Amino acid sequence: MLMKKLALTGIVAGLLLGGSAFAADKAGAEAAIAAAKAAQKAASAAGGEWRDTGKMIKEAEEAVAAGNFGSAEALAKKAEAQGNLGKEQAMGQSNVGNPGYLYN
């Protein structure tokens, strides 16, 4: 009986503490969106903006307007990652040229 109470107490405490750790607020979501926009701009300047980055940012902004801050932050972080990867891809492929076998 004592073990069941301890287990139940541990589960409840974990849910309460874990739930507060995942609670997102408006400021965090807006900061994530701002970071995503900066990454998108950098990728665009390098010529490597990915197709869905802008769509994700727009969806994140709509989620903030609807009060879904956790969803907005998650979408913005994905968009930021796409922006960073797009820039990295563009920089890695710049001035590479065509393979030599095309010229033989």
Structure letter (DSSP) for residue 50: -
Residue 34 placed within a domain? yes
Residue 97 lies in a domain: no
Tell me how far the alpha carbon of residue 63 is from its chain's centroid. Answer: 14
Could you tell me if residue 84 is inside a domain?
yes
- List the domain range (segments joined by +) for residue 81: 22-92
Q: What is the pTM of this model?
A: 0.71
Residue 104 lies in a domain: no
User: Can you tell me the distance from the alpha carbon of 74 to that of 63, in angstroms, rounded to the nearest whole number?
Assistant: 10
Share of the chain above pLDDT 70, in %: 76
Reduced DSSP (H G I as helix, E B as strand, rest coil) percent helix, strand, coil of the chain, to 5? 80, 0, 20
pLDDT tens, position by position, 19-58: 444 457 999 999 999 999 999 999 999 999 999 999 999 9
Q: What is the pLDDT of residue 22?
A: 47
CA–CA separation, 96 and 104 (whole Å): 18
Helix (H, G, I), strand (E, B), or coil: what is residue 47?
coil
Residue 101 belongs to some domain of the structure: no
Total domains in the chain come to 1
